[in-house]
Chains A and B, each alone.
Chain A
Amino acid sequence: MNTPYPSEDGDLLVIGYGNTLRQDDRAGPLVAGTIESYALPGVRTLVCAQLSPEHAEAVARAREVVLVDAMSGSVRATNLQRIAPAASPQVTTHAVEPPTLLALARDVYGRVPPVWLLTVPAEKLGFGTDISETTRHGVEVAVGKIVKLAHRKSLKPVEV
């Protein structure tokens, strides 16, 4: 049923998502935009308001993926963690959660590379383009983590 995707493009894909008019929610796009400006070899970036089903194809093709998003709540540090596809099907909307996106890559395109969720702490989520100092620092830390990832040896992808 699952046809393996024809070819991997060999890149580290960085997807930064969030609403750029909701203050700290723009952390994801800021990180991805900064990475893009570095023009690192073997690294592609994608900026979007939210994850959508059609991003599954880009995920399935990549060597490795980093999803970058703002996260509000008690966590105050930038956090990088490996994530897995949803084990059982999740409900979907016009926007999808990261595990759902991976499950879509698995079920429709037959391949899930190593995927990381990189969260940047968010304090302010009102209307505006300014960001908090916490998020500003978090963006810098996040960019550093991605640069390190870009230079390390790639992990083996998971073929379905």
Chain B
Amino acid sequence: MSQRIVIDPVTRIEGHAKISVYVDNAGNVSGAEFHVVEFRGFEKFCEGRPYTEMPGITPRICGICPVSHLLASAKAGDAIMAVSIPVAADKLRRLMNLGQLVQSHALSFFHLSAPDFLLGWDSPPASRNVFGLIASHVDLARAGIRLRQFGQEIIEVLGGRKVHPAWAVPGGVRSALTKEGAEKIRAWLPEAYATTRTALDLFQKVLETHQHEVQLYGNFPSLFMGLVAPDGGWEHHGGKLRFIDSSGSIIADQVAPADYLKVIGEAVQDSSYLKSPYYVPLGPVDGLYRVGPLARLNVCTHMGVTQADAELRNFKALSPGAVTSSFLYHYARLIEILASLEWIERYLDDADLYGSHLRADAGINSLHGVGASEAPRGTLFHDYTVDRNGLLQKVNLIVATGQNNLAMNRTVAQIARHFARGPEITEPMLNRIEHGIRCYDPCLSCSTHAAGKMALHVRMIAPDGRVLHEMKRD
């Protein structure tokens, strides 16, 4: 008898979703889907508003990565003004983005993912979370919380608040980094480095004991996309787009973010409100690409800082071409934390960071502007079209999680195909499928701009359409 196995909700990701696993009459997995049931509508809400308000509005899409939207929005405003912002402003924005990467990656690794591979897929659900981690690895758990706090502290030092800092604006930033703020960040760095190094050493041990997961959790050929510097170096805030294939070959390079529509199309799925971007020249099926830490490390040639470059070499040595296992997103996140710390330290010693010229002054010089920035989960695009008064006529937001949508579908199917056996559903099997999704650290609130919790509905459906089992949660 065919069955549809539903995992709803997926725990430990942002927003709400359900997973459907389709099993045929022979008991084999015939397919799987990752559904997003939330509603997207932020773009329409913004129409008619001045583009200058967008850095204040768009961070409120999500409480997880507001800085990413703040910076991409400000960059879109820069493009409408047709300005190059002052050097100090650019480096200050970069500093804030690095803080964002640290805090988001730290939470993803320590709270959302580490409980699985440190405590085991078969550990009881009640302990397979951060509290179980606290009990068994108490120092690591506390250090992980502190590492996230460090990233948040950078954001607050610069923007005045940790969430929704109204600081980056079209043309630059509102305020400088104070000497006290710089010293506060600098004083915290040694602890942050130590925690990151501990986590990296720990993950090397995880790699030794989790080769099965490396092979099966979202390990398939795909394209990868991210921003790169002119010399191919790791980028998190500037640069241009690069696509590579799974052999590591560059198939598109130095594409200006303003031209993103030449390379990125969006397909609509019947079963989800989440759109599915794809690489245009190859179409919606073959054009599947991944973004985020795994992609950024794949597309770049170097991180530009010593310790992270050494780790990048270790990372790239895992595969002759691109590193294709989504399980290794966790490793990539840790390397990006390390790179972020090294770049933070470098910026603190950079005299340019303390320049007094923080804003370029201009009117509306273009009726269209695109801002792209690397959010923790991947490349984020803010695309604004305005009238001559600067009022928004059209807004298009492409968020990181949406770009990983097709890859998440394929990951779920791959894991389910391997671990599902007939009608028996075990907790460890379900958790492996969920973990496949968590490798991407998706933010569904960003992808669909949800208000908050929504009612959940779980159904087991027989081949003839009968509801075998049903659960609701308000």
- The minimal Cβ–Cβ distance linking A120 to chain B, given in whole angstroms, is 14
- Answer whether residue A157 sits at the interface, using C-beta atoms and an 8 A cutoff: no
Query: Contact residue range for chain A?
Result: 20 to 34
B-contacting 9-mer, from A84-92, A132-140, A141-149: A84-92
In the bound complex, how far is the Cα of B111 from the Cα of A21, in angstroms? Answer: 28
Quick check: is A83 within 8 A (CB to CB) of the other chain?
no
Stretch of A7-15, A35-43, A47-55, A111-119 contacting B (4+ beta carbons < 8 Å): A47-55
Contact with A along B111-146 (1 / 0, CB 8 A): 110000000000000110111101100100110010
- Total A-B Cβ pairs within 8 A: 89
**Interface locus among B7-15, B231-239, B252-260, B405-413:** B7-15
| Contact present for B451 and A95 (CB under 8 Å) | no
State whether the Cβ of A123 lies closer than 8 Å to any Cβ in chain B.
Answer: no
**Which residues in B have their C-beta under 8 angstroms from that of A94?**
14, 63-64, 104, 107, 111-112, 443
Docked Cα-Cα span, A50 to B149, in Å, equals 15
**Which residues on A sit within 8 Å (CB–CB) of B443?**
94
Which residues of A in the span 18-36 have a Cβ within 8 Å of any Cβ on B?
19-22, 25
Q: For residue B56, give the distance in angstroms from its CB to the closest CB of chain A.
A: 10
Rounded to whole Å, the gap between the CB of B351 and the closest CB of chain A is: 32
- Shortest Cβ distance from B423 into chain A, in angstroms? 26
Interface size on B, as a range, is 35 or more
- Chain A residues lying within 8 Å of B141, measured Cβ to Cβ, are 108
Q: Is the CB of B149 within 8 A of A54?
A: yes
Asked if B189 is at the interface of the complex by the 8 Å CB criterion, the answer is no
User: What's the minimum C-beta distance from B141 to chain A, rounded to whole angstroms?
Assistant: 7
Flag whether A1 is at the interface (Cβ < 8 A).
yes
Name A91's contact: one of B107, B129, B138, B452 (CB within 8 Å): B129
In the complex formed, the residue of B with least CB distance to A49 is B63
B164: Cβ under 8 A from any A Cβ? yes
Given contacts A89-B132, A107-B131, are A125 and B163 in contact (CB under 8 A)?
no
Does residue A93 face the partner (Cβ distance < 8 Å to B)?
Answer: yes
- Given contacts A49-B163, A93-B12, A107-B134, is CB(A21)–CB(B60) below 8 Å? yes
Q: What is A's interface to B at a CB cutoff of 8 Å?
A: 1, 19-22, 25, 48-50, 53-54, 56-57, 73, 88-95, 103-104, 107-108, 125-128
Q: List B residues at the A interface (Cβ < 8 Å).
A: 11-14, 41-42, 45, 57, 60, 62-64, 66, 104, 107, 111-112, 126-127, 129-132, 134-135, 138, 141-142, 145, 148-149, 152, 162-164, 443, 451-452, 474
User: What are 23 residue pairs bridging A and B, where the CB atoms are less than 8 Å apart in the complex?
Assistant: A1-B138, A19-B451, A20-B164, A48-B162, A48-B163, A49-B63, A49-B66, A53-B111, A54-B149, A89-B127, A89-B130, A90-B129, A91-B11, A92-B130, A93-B112, A94-B107, A95-B14, A95-B63, A95-B64, A104-B131, A108-B134, A125-B452, A127-B41
